């Protein structure tokens, strides 16, 4: 019984331990640190913007994009030809040509 009461008292004591708590103080140089962080962010973005806006870099990037587009188009064309060839071979193998159908007289009444 005594033990239970003792624990209860300790619990109450712990719950009261934040009474009269003083506020913690932030770093006195907080503003300077925030300013440095903001400036660093700005510097990083402005460096990127400056770099991208240089005429040589901008022209180079445009050239790369155009080149990539050309490569994509030409590779698509060659693959279309390949596909066409394969279809023709397949049609020939299975005698799918319209001439064959006419020769066999399937469409005739």
Partner 1 sequence: MTDPRFIERLRQGEEAAFCQLVEDWKDRIYNTALGLVQQEQDAEDITQEVFIIAWKTIHRFREESSIQTWLYKIAVHQSLDAIRKKKRKKRFGWMTPILGSDENGESDPGDFIHPGVQMEKKQEAQVLFRAIKKLPEQQQVAYSLQKIEGLALKEIAQVMETTDGAVEALLNRAKSNLQKTLTNYYQTHKHE
Interface ranges with partner 1 (CB under 8 A): 7-8, 10-11, 13-18, 20-27, 30-31, 33-34, 37-38
Could you tell me the sign of the dihedral formed by the alpha carbons of 72, 75, 81, 87, in that order?
negative
Nearer of residues 27 and 53 to partner 1, judged by Cβ: 27
Nearer of residues 5 and 108 to partner 1, judged by Cβ: 5
- The 3-class SS string of 4-29 reads HHHHHHHHHHHHHHHCCCCCCCCCCC
Least separation, in Å, of the C-beta of 13 and partner 1?
A: 5
Whether 34 contacts 42, CB under 8 Å: no
Least separation, in Å, of the C-beta of 89 and partner 1?
A: 52
Least separation, in Å, of the C-beta of 8 and partner 1?
A: 8
**Rounded Cα gap, residues 74 and 93, in angstroms:** 29
Nearer of residues 22 and 93 to partner 1, judged by Cβ: 22
């Amino acid at each position: 019984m005594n033990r239970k009461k003792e624990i209860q008292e300790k619990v109450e004591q712990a719950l009261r331990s934040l009474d009269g708590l003083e506020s913690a103080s932030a770093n006195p140089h907080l503003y300077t640190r925030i300013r440095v962080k903001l400036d660093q962010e700005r510097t990083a973005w402005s460096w990127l913007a400056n770099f991208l806006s240089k005429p040589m870099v901008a022209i180079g990037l445009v050239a790369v994009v155009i080149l990539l587009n050309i490569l994509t188009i030409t590779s698509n064309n060659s693959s279309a030809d390949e596909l066409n060839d394969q279809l023709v071979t397949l049609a020939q193998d299975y005698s799918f040509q319209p001439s064959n159908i006419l020769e066999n007289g399937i469409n005739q009444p």
